[in-house]
Structure 1
Amino acid sequence: MLLAACLEGSPDRGGSATTEADAAPLRAGLPRLSLGSWTGDGHTDFHDVVGAIVDRRAGILVVANGGDATIRTFGLDGGWRRARGGTGRGPQEFGDLTALFEYRGDSLLAFDERRDEASVWSYADGDVRRIAAPSLPEDSLRYPKLYGALADGRLVWTAEKPYRQPDEVGESHPDTMLIFLTSPGGGGFDPIARTLGRRHFSYAASIHQQGRAPFSPEEFVLPRDSVILFGSTERARVERASGTGTPLEPIMFSLPPLPVTGSHRAWEIAERRRVLNSRPLPPSLVEGQTAVLDILPFPDSFPVLGEVVAGHDGRVWVRGYRPPEMDSTRVRDEPSVWSVYAGPGSRGRDIEFPPGFDLMWADELEAVGIVRDEFDVEQVLIVPLPAAARGRREP
């Protein structure tokens, strides 16, 4: 059933895309557009932006604002167009807007995580087509999640396949994320690949208790045209499969792993103790949870990758993992560095963006991302890319 199963566990294949060691990072230009304020009722009052997309043919910038579940449209000059959506149960409302994608060049694709539902929003009119998550095989898969669509209209979903065998005390077992496609109309179930999901441990304090390991790697899935990129942030590579499930050559990154030190462990345990002590819990429960902290397992290193973004032009953008103790002040003071790769065997190039820049969309000309100021006010920036950063398009 799985033509590209467990690719992540196979030996390394293909050429390495190593960054030029002696090349200084290229610097992105000054933002040509900045949208974001906080007046309480403005079109650019953003809160919890979950997606931002540029469509040059339509001449629009679209921002998905998770705070009020609205899809807001602007011109490429920042001029206001309209807002759609909102929180509620209506036909054009969301329970929880958590992601936004482009869809076939004339529509937007949104994901409502609370309803396990996708919706297609046409540029041309106000019609909205809702697509429920496909029915999954009983007792084997759970938590369907939308990751976008291929060029032919098939939706890309994942579902979690839990590890069914009981854990030994203190042992870790990863869940599996199964990647599957629907038909262009949204129905069906066509599994094509799988990747590692989150890790879970059992603890001596409670043999029935499971918890996520500190710094456990996250899975990622990135559809692009007729190719699906996927993997786990644990490894410095992107697995690739065609829309038919055929394994393709992976993209190798040159980001080294960051070791977990004693200070990292101390920070994590102290933070968990702070959260535990802030809750009005019975003393017996606090005692049990404290015992869990004393035996909390730690990996030797952080996940290699922090974030992975598929560029609109076919390139792949990655940022190294940032330790959780890196506070917002430090993030705001240091440039945000992303590495961009044109494809298998290509050489990565580092690009410096404004401090705190979280990339959401990019092509060969510009990148769109989110920054937050000292008051956590979110701004959407469109930043020009240096000409030297442009790479070949991958076939």
Structure 2
Amino acid sequence: MKNPPDGWPRITPAVFYDDAGAAIDWLASAFGFEVQERIENEQGQVVHPQPPFSRVRSSCRRALMVFTVLLSASGCRTDRSHPPEPVSIVERDSAGVRIIEFGLNVWESRPTWSVSTDPRIELRGSNRSDVSESDRAAYEFFDVSGLARLLTGELVVADNGTRELRMFGDDGRYLRTLGSEGEGPGEFTDLAFLDIIRGDSLATFDGHLHRITVMDPRSGGARLVNSGARMATHLLKDGGVVWEERGGSFHHGAWSDSVTVVRTGSDGMTTDSIGVFDGTEFFYTAGTVYVEHRPFGRQFRTAARDSVLYVATGDQYSILVFSARGHRTAILRGLFATRPVAAEEFDDMLSMWISDSRDPRRQTDLEKLRGTKPYPDMVPPHGELMLAATGELFVQDFTWRPDEGQVWRVFDPSHRPRATLKTPPGFRVLYVDELLVGGVGMDEYGVERVMFYEIIRD
């Protein structure tokens, strides 16, 4: 906790105002406060005042501190269950942790980015004349789990269906394949994700074999790191690893696990504890084969790059920011009302899951979830988290319909709202850098297509 400024008490009495606007006028009149900035929402409620300390008598500064902190945090006492949405960003400090609060309307004053009408790069063999018959299979993808772009501009696709890493030039021309299915060095039984570490080394995690593979993209040489029971979720450029250990046992009905997040250093030994968090919500019915994610249930999500880790538990729009050593440094908090889950959309989501499943046993299990009450308390506040190569955090607006275009809220490296990015319908984003957004779509035959669109930053 930070020490108070010199001359300030450690315990400060406080008064809440029913009418914050009237309080500002009275304090200005009685004590000579000069309000430098006064931000109100659409209802006329004060959400942030900024009176300068230097222009008031020193005997009044303690009262000014109380005034500023209380109004910044609460505005007024009208309705605490639905806090007013600020028209601007409110940033404050709490024991050394930056708290950045914002409402949905903050995005109205931020630019909206789009993507090019046509992909800048499309990994598709049928529209290329320089592809041999033997190489055409390299353009057929199934269950793509990760995309990466090397410093040379070369593209890497993690194809979990074939357990391969396929490399392409920056013009989309197929170059070579690394790895194959198996349990030996350079072989995989699962490709959970794909990262780039230490320059241009490729790093993947095999969730079935519980091991990390670090591979040279030129020679294909591989180094293995066993993980034990832990699941690697992020491989950092300095060689560090973010791990998750999940606890709890499933039972009948809705339940959630707990997640312990730790980080190990490049030596594989130094361990920094990030914390223990509420995990993802699941649903299980006695006599069924599968444990399912709870429709509209809470989901635990993380994103990491270099020396920063973002954690979201999904129970509200609150994203925690940690340093590489596990110190909480900031909180991104969205101040807007939640929406309850409607019975119709609950059933619609189940119908989509049933239609997409090719396993008759799972289809039967999913049918048993219809009408299972109570529904989750609210529609999830957001979807996926993704960190761009630029250090920007992309937070997806929640959507469960794949045919809808995705909306991503972009935060700059200092964690402040920066822009909104809209991507095409049916496009699953897996990679973002300053120029390109890469992901997977489906062609007219239901075959996966890997595409990279140019980002138009208005």
Question: 2:241 — aligned with what?
Answer: 155
Amino acid at match of 1:233: G
Question: 1:199 — aligned with what?
Answer: 281
Question: 1:85 — aligned with what?
Answer: 179
Question: 2:211 — aligned with what?
Answer: 117
1:146 and 2:232 aligned = yes
Maintained 8 Å contact 1:236/1:305 = yes
Question: 1:310 — aligned with what?
Answer: 387
* Contiguous gaps of at least 5 residues in structure 1: 1-9, 135-141, 389-395
Question: 1:27 — aligned with what?
Answer: 114
1:43 and 2:131 aligned = no
Maintained 8 Å contact 2:198/2:238 = yes
Amino acid at match of 1:313: T
Residue of structure 2 aligned with 1:176, choices 258, 265, 281: 258
Question: 1:213 — aligned with what?
Answer: 294
Of structures 1 and 2, the larger Rg is shown by 2
1:61 and 2:155 aligned = yes
1:239 and 2:282 aligned = no
Amino acid at match of 1:317: F
Q: Which one has the bigger helix percentage?
A: 2
1:337-376 aligned at under 5 Å gives the runs: 337-343=407-413, 346-376=416-446
Looking at both structures, which has the greater relative contact order when contacts are Cα pairs under 8 Å and sequence separation is at least 6? 1
Identity %: 26
1:82 positional shift: 0.8
Residue of structure 2 aligned with 1:130, choices 216, 220, 224: 224
Maintained 8 Å contact 1:36/1:46 = no
Q: Distance in 1 between matches of 2:410 and 2:352?
A: 34
Q: Secondary structure at the match of 1:301?
A: coil
1:76 positional shift: 1.1
* Contiguous gaps of at least 5 residues in structure 2: 1-93, 127-132
After TM superposition, the structure 1 stretch with the greater mean CA deviation from structure 2, 181-190 or 263-272, is 263-272
User: Are residues 267 and 381 of structure 1, via their aligned partners in 2, closer, same or farther at CA, if it must alter by over 3 Å?
Assistant: closer
Amino acid at match of 2:386: V
Q: Secondary structure at the match of 1:97?
A: coil
Maintained 8 Å contact 2:169/2:175 = yes
1:13 positional shift: 5.8
User: Are residues 161 and 78 of structure 1, via their aligned partners in 2, closer, same or farther at CA, if it must alter by over 3 Å?
Assistant: same
Q: What do the CA deviations read for 1:311-338 (whole angstroms, capped 9, x no partner)?
A: 1111011211213xx3x5xx1xx43322
Q: What do the CA deviations read for 1:211-270 (whole angstroms, capped 9, x no partner)?
A: 653322221121111111112233323211111111111233578644311212343566
Detail structure 1 runs of 4+ shifted over 6 Å in the superposition.
269-275, 288-292
Amino acid at match of 1:372: M
TM-score, scaled to structure 1: 0.77
Aligned residues: 351
User: Are residues 347 and 289 of structure 1, via their aligned partners in 2, closer, same or farther at CA, if it must alter by over 3 Å?
Assistant: closer
1:243-282 aligned at under 5 Å gives the runs: 243-253=324-334, 257-267=338-348, 279=361
Q: Secondary structure at the match of 2:383?
A: strand
After TM superposition, the structure 1 stretch with the greater mean CA deviation from structure 2, 148-157 or 37-46, is 37-46
Question: 2:22 — aligned with what?
Answer: none
Maintained 8 Å contact 1:108/1:120 = yes
Residue of structure 1 aligned with 2:309, choices 203, 216, 228: 228
Q: Distance in 2 between matches of 1:291 and 1:354?
A: 33
Amino acid at match of 1:14: I
Q: Distance in 1 between matches of 2:430 and 2:351?
A: 32
